[in-house]
Amino acid sequence: MSLDNVRVVLVKPIYGGNVGAVCRAMANMGLSDLALVAPRPLDEDESRMMACHARGILEARREFPDLPSALADCAMVTGTSARGGLYRRHARTPREWAPAAAAAARAGRVALVFGPEDNGLTNEDLAVCTHIVRIPAAEDYTSLNVAQAALVCCYELFLEAGSYEPPEEKSPPATTDLRERMFDIWRRALLDIGFMKEDMADHMMLGLRRVLSRGALTVDDVNIMMGVARQAEWAARREGRG
Amino acid sequence: MSLDNVRVVLVKPIYGGNVGAVCRAMANMGLSDLALVAPRPLDEDESRMMACHARGILEARREFPDLPSALADCAMVTGTSARGGLYRRHARTPREWAPAAAAAARAGRVALVFGPEDNGLTNEDLAVCTHIVRIPAAEDYTSLNVAQAALVCCYELFLEAGSYEPPEEKSPPATTDLRERMFDIWRRALLDIGFMKEDMADHMMLGLRRVLSRGALTVDDVNIMMGVARQAEWAARREGRG
């Protein structure tokens, strides 16, 4: 699995809570290899609380004295930056970057590097990187929380790696034949309950057709709607008899 | 601007830090309308710290006693859920959802609803929603931190709204003519410094051409490389004379 080849590297992280939140983001997106470069002593309570069920990643983290040693075995190295300027104008968005990163992770180890919370990566840090990613953001506030930035990059990578299977609608789409049977039953029911008279029935049914055709109906949906109409019809007839 | 029409609604948030982090995510992605439903008293220090430069959103938040009153003026209402089951199998990914949400935000007010940190939105909450979003995640750990979940949804919406202008490479791409002039200068320099002999020059130059063609060179890049070759040539000649 190529996501195993992706290392997240945090350079001089300041807040334990952020380190923990990065762990959780990694676990959510199928990553597990975390390296810290010259971190301050971590607030263990904060980091564990924010890691939540990703404490395993927090505990398995490795620490390195400098950035090059954390990257020693990595081929593609991607730095993240919220700023423009030297180096940074070559930045790609996470979405533009993800296909190249996923390809590189199939061939070897890759790193995704985030800077300290206060100032981000330095030019010296970025010089070691082969790629730079900049997350699209509103002009007024371009600097993301480090764990949120990590999540966006990991999310794009996770989608690109194709590990996600979307929830499946179990009920198949309703066919025209089934839909028309439903409308027949509704037509009869709406006449029986006195919602419309025969002369206006086609016109009124157009409205109902429009309402029920705004979304793509499934077989289950149609069965529910047929059940409602049948019940209304039944109730109206019993009423008439009663 | 249609993003002004997007309200983020947090149902019964527990941790002030998360509320603050949601504010920052919103500011990063150009949103500003925050509603809290029946929140616990907020830890103001935590929430302000995590909001960082988005304190304005935190301070302008509105609180509502229940979900329907927070949504009273909203047309499209999107609930988020990490779980499957009733309602939830109709969930879309944020990317699938974003175009419909952006379109709805051009026409009227829309809401994006997140549940409490411990259990997420209830079935009752989801019943009020017109759409459901589920963020793709690794099977082992599908539940994201609420502020990170908010960021992913807001990020997809921000991209869809087309508010982002990617950083521009200021130097135009190098043309064949310019590239070939660069290779001529390198050829002469590599001969002059004794890196290769004339009989192997074409073969050696193929290697250099390959290295320098892996990425798309800009005019600035070519100027740098021509400068390097010219300087090497000059140094080699001075050496020969000295």
Give me the residues of B, 162-191, that contact A with CB < 8 A: 163-164, 166-170
Range(s) within chain A of domains with CATH label 3.40.1280.10? 2-161
Tens-place pLDDT, residues A168-204: 667 788 888 888 899 999 999 889 888 889 998 888 8
Mean pLDDT of A204-229: 84
Contact A137 B29 (CB under 8 A): yes
User: Closest to A167 (Cβ–Cβ): which among B25, B91, B144?
Assistant: B91
User: Closest to B89 (Cβ–Cβ): which among A89, A144, A167?
Assistant: A167
Tens-place pLDDT, residues A112-155: 999 999 999 998 898 888 889 999 999 999 999 999 999 999 99
Contact between A235 and A195 under an 8 Å Cβ cutoff? The reply is no
Terminal CA-CA length for chain B? 69
Tens-place pLDDT, residues A31-48: 999 999 999 999 999 999
Q: How far apart, in whole angstroms, are the C-alpha atoms of residue A98 and residue B218?
A: 23
Closest CA to B101 of B68, B146, B71, B131: B131
Tens-place pLDDT, residues A60-105: 999 999 999 999 998 899 999 987 665 556 789 999 999 999 999 9
Contact A21 B137 (CB under 8 A): no
Residues of chain B with pLDDT under 70: 1, 84-89, 164-169, 239-242
Total residue count of chain A as it appears in this document: 242
Give the pair of three-digit tokens for residue B55.
């304190």
For residue B191, the surrounding DSSP H or E stretch is: helix B176-192
Quick count: other Cβ atoms within 10 Å of Cβ A221?
A: 18
Q: How far apart, in whole angstroms, are the C-alpha atoms of residue B145 and residue A55?
A: 14
Residue B105: partners with Cβ closer than 8 Å, 6 or more residues away: B2, B3, B5, B6, B76, B157, B161
Q: How far apart, in whole angstroms, are the C-alpha atoms of residue B107 and residue B112?
A: 16
CATH architecture for residues A2-161: 3-Layer(aba) Sandwich (3.40)
CATH architecture for residues A176-241: Orthogonal Bundle (1.10)
User: Closest to A138 (Cβ–Cβ): which among B30, B91, B145?
Assistant: B30
Contact A148 B52 (CB under 8 A): no
Give the pair of three-digit tokens for residue B19.
């509320």
Contact B141 A89 (CB under 8 A): no
Angstrom distances, CA of residue B12 to CA of A17, A21, B65: 22, 21, 10
Q: How far apart, in whole angstroms, are the C-alpha atoms of residue B56 and residue A141?
A: 12
User: Closest to B28 (Cβ–Cβ): which among A27, A96, A141?
Assistant: A141
pLDDT of amino acid B107: 86
Contact between B181 and A148 under an 8 Å Cβ cutoff? The reply is no
Quick count: other Cβ atoms within 10 Å of Cβ A32?
A: 18
pLDDT of amino acid B198: 92
Q: Which of A151, A160, A170 to mutate to test the interface with B (most CBs of B within 10 A)?
A: A151
Residue type, A153: C
Mean of pLDDT over chain A? 89
Cβ contacts of A159 on chain B, cutoff 8 Å: 95, 136
**A21 interfacial to chain B (CB closer than 8 Å):** yes
Contact between A183 and A208 under an 8 Å Cβ cutoff? The reply is yes
**A55 interfacial to chain B (CB closer than 8 Å):** no
Is the model more confident about A1 or about B226? B226
Q: Which of A19, A33, A47, A155 to mutate to test the interface with B (most CBs of B within 10 A)?
A: A155
A36 bridge partner residues: A10, A63
Contact between B98 and B160 under an 8 Å Cβ cutoff? The reply is yes
pLDDT of amino acid B242: 47
Angstrom distances, CA of residue B15 to CA of A9, B24, B42: 27, 15, 7
Range(s) within chain A of domains with CATH label 1.10.8? 176-241
Give the pair of three-digit tokens for residue A204.
């009124």
Q: How far apart, in whole angstroms, are the C-alpha atoms of residue B96 and residue A56?
A: 32
Q: How many CB pairs under 8 A join A and B?
A: 124
Cβ contacts of A144 on chain B, cutoff 8 Å: 24-25, 28, 151
Three-state secondary structure readout of chain A: CHHHHEEEEEECCCCHHHHHHHHHHHHHCCCCEEEEECCCCCCHHHHHHHHHHHHHHHHCCEEECCHHHHCCCCCCEEEECCCCCCCHHHCECHHHHHHHHHHHHHHCCEEEEECCCCCCCCHHHHHCCCEEECCCCCCCCCCCCHHHHHHHHHHHHHHHHCCCCCCCCCCCECCHHHHHHHHHHHHHHHHHCCCCCHHHHHHHHHHHHHHHCCCCCEHHHHHHHHHHHHHHHHHHHHHHHC
